[in-house]
Amino acid sequence: MELIGTPEFNDLDGRLNTFGNIVYISAGFSSIFSHNNADFFIFLISISEAEKYLPQEEESAAFTLSREGIKEECPLHTMKRFESLPPHAERWDSLFFVGGPVWAMEWCPLPEGAAETQYAALYCNRSGDDRHKANVLCTEQTLLQLWDLGKLQISRPSSSPQLAYALAIDEGCIWNLKWCPAGAWELPTTERKAPHLPRLGLIAAAFSNGTIAVYSLPHPKALTAQSQARGESSAVRFSLQVRRIMTVKLGSSQADHNGQSGPCFALDWLPVKPHNILAAGFYDGTVALWDLSTKSSLQRVRSPDRSLCLFPYHCFLAHDHTVRSLSWCRASSELLVTVGDDRMVKFWDITKTCVPLKAVKRFLPTEVSWPILWSGIFQTQECCFTTLGQQGLHYLDSGYLGHKPFFVCTRKATVWSLSMSDWVNSCVMGDNIGDLVFSLLCDPDCNYANTKRHRFPVYRTELVQFRPGQLLKQAQEEEEQEVGDVPLEEPQSYRGAAKKYYLRFLDMDLRSFKKYQEKPLMKKLHTSEIKGILSVDQMPLNALYKVRFNPNMDAHGWVLSAGQSGLVRVHCVRGLSGSLMHKLVHEAQAQFSAMFRSQEHDATATAVRRCTADTVQVR
């Protein structure tokens, strides 16, 4: 996401003071990557062909939903693969089952003011018991799913989440996904010459075989209309094979690297104009940079299938071990932060990578983020190297303002994922015990000693053992067949845990935060942060591996979360959306509508990107 009119990176005070006056939307009619704008190369595959790509878990683990302040029966539910529950009438939350543990998930970015359908791309393991070695390259059939979540505004969604389409891929499991931040989205009504379709966006996927692929994804509605015109059934349209427009890998045109650096785990797309650089980190500690718009014949090689093979313009050894995560500075195209399994946090100027700008030894990291309103980074860690009470979310300054590192939020278990929102200056975290925690970030000069006042749970996930007679009929019959003289032990498999336990989701009322410190869920959260025992030998069926704040202005309060169970939850943090944000959203929507009403059926209006524009006043 790019905020136009934002001062320079080091002027933090100026950014904080001008945040309310930023012009958020603008228009342009040319794509940033015009050479990647035309061809989709879509191949529809049959149900029988798609079977080898589908997740193997056809039914979810049992679960119950309990919402704070609503007294209703909580029967046990199970969901079929790709099935969803409609949004709740009062709380607006919804849920869907993707078929396996989710390890990569990202919202599709939209221009500010585009009150269009929100989409999310995600990847899940085919089986709940899949295990992958970090140092071994592997290739397998996978499915990249694109979900239609409806028009998410400050109101109840009118439709349930549904699978828009899925990409059948043969490159291996996906460890990271990143959309092009801007300049790739087109209006759904844009007219294109057949067989070309309006483009939803460009997405980069990091595979376990050591390569990175960039795909150009079409708008689902345009694809559906084209398929219906051809007389194809909806079942056939479900799975697609899309030829990549670009393969990004290490090496050169004269010397293939052959995956010597191992799998790619870290990936980030340059968030500032011209969005042309892709950064990636690999198992051996290498960080590589690719210029996606380069014209150099040494870096761009055309393959026989018309796709491009792109080689990096710069590589450097950033860590002694795996690069676990990396993040661009949101206000500079030269500043980058990386964290690795060598427990180091390093700030880099990519024009001078012989030595890092700053290096700090911390705990074993899981994810890092560099938000636009801060001159430093937020980092989450695994719990294996931390002392009691020091596990959770940490802030490290880049060095410009000289702030000391401080502790933002306490968590007892490993925090797998972190997501920041520049719209409300907040973050969400998902951990290994199933807690989705929201933390409101304050000015770095404020006192963070009492961090309990700055956070609350969006929901908690408890692992509850079935009572006698509570098992679903099929699971009970299977359990009776397995009963013997073997002593009861903790199940180590996904299906074993699903037979013994069910998930209980405890949702907080996110409509208002009056007296929130007195709510039962808050007290449970504070108690569980220090007290209690972590069951390290238990299958983490309730673990959350990926959480994502919606980066789009129109849906800034919506959060996605998913993990080991394969159940993806959608929540709206409604209590944080004030009158100022409502006004900005309405102004942006009015300006977007005024700009593009006359270009809806213009074939030349192919892409929407950000540039300076006047704000339309809404009364």
- Span 533-547, average pLDDT: 86
- Span 169-194, average pLDDT: 88
Residue 378 pLDDT > 50: yes
Residue 110 pLDDT > 80: yes
Q: ∠ CA(49), CA(50), CA(54), 5° rounding?
A: 145
Looking at residue 42, what is its pLDDT? 60
Please state whether the peptide bond connecting residue 274 to the residue before it is cis, i.e. omega within 30 degrees of 0: yes
- Per residue in 201-254, pLDDT tens? 999 999 999 999 999 998 888 888 777 776 665 544 466 777 788 899 898 877
- Per residue in 248-265, pLDDT tens? 989 887 777 777 889 999
Looking at residue 192, what is its pLDDT? 79
Confidence of residue 519 (pLDDT cuts 50, 70, 90): confident
Q: ∠ CA(134), CA(139), CA(142), 5° rounding?
A: 100
Give the residue with greater pLDDT, 12 vs 343: 343
| Distance spanning both ends of the chain, measured CA to CA | 27
Q: What is the mean pLDDT of the chain?
A: 80
- Span 423-438, average pLDDT: 90
Residue 29 pLDDT > 50: no
Tell me the percentage of the chain whose pLDDT exceeds 70.
81
- Per residue in 566-611, pLDDT tens? 999 999 988 777 778 888 888 888 888 887 765 554 544 445 554 4
Cα–Cα distance between 29 and 193 in angstroms, integer? 17
Looking at residue 297, what is its pLDDT? 87
CA distances from 529 to 362, 379, 389 (A): 21, 18, 8
Looking at residue 30, what is its pLDDT? 41
Give the DSSP letter string of 228-249. HHTT--HHHHTEEEE--SEEE-
Looking at residue 102, what is its pLDDT? 95
The DSSP H or E segment spanning 474 is helix 473-482
CA distances from 181 to 103, 209, 565 (A): 20, 25, 29
Confidence of residue 32 (pLDDT cuts 50, 70, 90): low
Looking at residue 616, what is its pLDDT? 36
Residue 472 pLDDT > 70: no
Confidence of residue 104 (pLDDT cuts 50, 70, 90): very high
Looking at residue 392, what is its pLDDT? 84
Confidence of residue 474 (pLDDT cuts 50, 70, 90): low
Mean pLDDT lowest for which of 11-15, 35-39, 172-176? 11-15
**The tokens of 535 are what?**
């069951």
Four-CA torsion 92, 593, 122, 78, nearest 10 degrees: 30
Residue 618 pLDDT > 70: no
Residue 185 pLDDT > 60: yes
Confidence of residue 615 (pLDDT cuts 50, 70, 90): very low
Tell me the percentage of the chain whose pLDDT exceeds 90.
36
Please state whether the peptide bond connecting residue 271 to the residue before it is cis, i.e. omega within 30 degrees of 0: no
Mean pLDDT lowest for which of 18-27, 91-100, 495-504, 580-589? 18-27
Closest CA to 510 of 501, 519, 499: 519
Please state whether the peptide bond connecting residue 195 to the residue before it is cis, i.e. omega within 30 degrees of 0: yes
Looking at residue 28, what is its pLDDT? 33
Looking at residue 22, what is its pLDDT? 28
Cα–Cα distance between 270 and 181 in angstroms, integer? 8
Mean pLDDT lowest for which of 10-14, 234-238, 425-429, 551-555? 10-14
Confidence of residue 4 (pLDDT cuts 50, 70, 90): very low
- How far is residue 589 CA from its own chain's centroid? 25
- Per residue in 60-99, pLDDT tens? 999 999 888 888 777 898 999 999 999 988 889 999 999 9
The one-letter amino acid at 98: V
Confidence of residue 44 (pLDDT cuts 50, 70, 90): low
